[in-house]
Structure 1
Amino acid sequence: MATQNSGIRGLGSAVAVCLGMAAGACAAMAAQRQALATFSERLDHLEKRAVTQRQANLAMQQRQHWELLSKAIDDPELAEVLDLYEVPLTAQKRRQYLFANALYTNLLCYYRIGNMSRDEFFRHARGMFQNPIVRDYWYATGHQRASLTGTVEAELGQLIDDLLLQLDEADTDEWWVVGEPPLDP
């Protein structure tokens, strides 16, 4: 009988070892899950922070752009530095084009930082481009936009080009209904 008790005790010890290993494995898995959850939470935080930093960088860039344009608008000699148009412009027309550039860049910035959807961008642009000076500016700077490829700015520039074509071909004076607003990507 002594051999039977030792076999049962051996079996009990093996079961205890297996239960201990299973408990250890469960604890390790729980710790891994907690570590993954913490890592995932940290990654989400960093991604949100990166988006916020990107938006702050774009806003700073917009502010600097406006400061430079303001100086050029106020000083005809500085405005000559930004004269990249293919036809000669009067000082007045150059100032108007610089302001049109500021308006469009502001609209572009609002879209890029997420303050408006692509649909809203389209609707604002449709109104802004009713002004003949803004249209003239757009056509005068087409060669500058031609070098933009594969960027958000290039996509939105093409959207404006298409809109202007639709506005020119429209059979209605109700410009606010011309063109189909794009879907947000």
Structure 2
Amino acid sequence: MATQNFARGCGSAAAVGLTFAAAIGVLVVQQRQSRRLRLSEQHINLANQQRLHWELLSKALEDPALAAVLDTHDGAIPSAKYRQFLFANALYTNALLAYRIGNVNRAELFGHLRGTVQNPIFREYWEVTRPARASLEASSIEAQVGRLMDNLINDLDEADTDEWWVVGDPHE
């Protein structure tokens, strides 16, 4: 009789253990789904912010009076050039968003930016906005990409080749 009670107890303990393991498994799956949902919500929020950013920049691109509101250079940059800089900012923030939400990986971002910095207007924009980037939190993705851009521009300037598409290392 003691053996039967022991066997019943073991069976009962095994059932509890299996139930516990199943419950843990369900919790793990729920946590993963919750994390994915939070990431999706973050990506949606970033995309919405990017859309709003573009809408505001579009208004500034269309109306020099509105562009003047964004001018932190006391009018030192001619209006047409400043609107070009606003567009360069839109291109850059779009590439940054694509990287942040995982639409492109670091190497793809690097390749895109390597082409972008071939444009002298973009290069000028990048230099003029250097002081604004200095205030970024050093560990932020934007600061990391900014350093990647600075290193890329430096590598391109020092390269001994006209084949700009092979210059630099996205993993620096």
Correspondence 1:78 to 2:66: yes
Residues 126 and 176, structure 1, Cα contact 8 Å, conserved in 2: yes
Give the deviation of 1:174 after TM superposition.
1.4
Q: How many residues align?
A: 171
Superposition map of 1:66-105 within 5 A: 66-85=54-73, 88-105=76-93
Structure 1 window deviating more from structure 2 (15-24 vs 157-166): it is 15-24
User: Are the counterparts in 1 of residues 107 and 170 from structure 2 also a CA contact under 8 Å?
Assistant: yes
1:132 equivalent to 2:108? Answer no
Tell me, in whole angstroms, the C-alpha distance in 2 between the residues paired with 1:30 and 1:47.
Answer: 26
Higher relative contact order (CA 8 A, sep 6+): 1
* 1:29-79 CA distance string (max 9 Å, x none): 011011111111111111111111111111111101000100111111111
**Aligned match of 2:107:** 119
Contact 1:111 1:117 in 2 (8 A): yes
* Separation (CA, whole Å) in 2 of partners of 1:131 and 1:138: 11
Which structure 2 segments of 5+ residues have no match? Answer: none
Higher Rg:
1
* Identity rate, percent: 47
Match of 1:154 in 2: 143
Kindly report the root-mean-square deviation, in angstroms, between the aligned alpha carbons of the 2 structures.
1.3
Q: 1:100 corresponds to which letter in structure 2?
A: A
Structure 2 residue 3 is matched with structure 1 residue 48: no
Paired with 2:14 and 2:51, the residues of 1 have a C-alpha distance of 55
Distance 2:75 2:140 in 1: 27
Residue by residue over 1:106-143, the C-alpha shift from the partner in whole angstroms, topping out at 9 and shown as x without a partner, is: 00000011000000000000000100000000000000
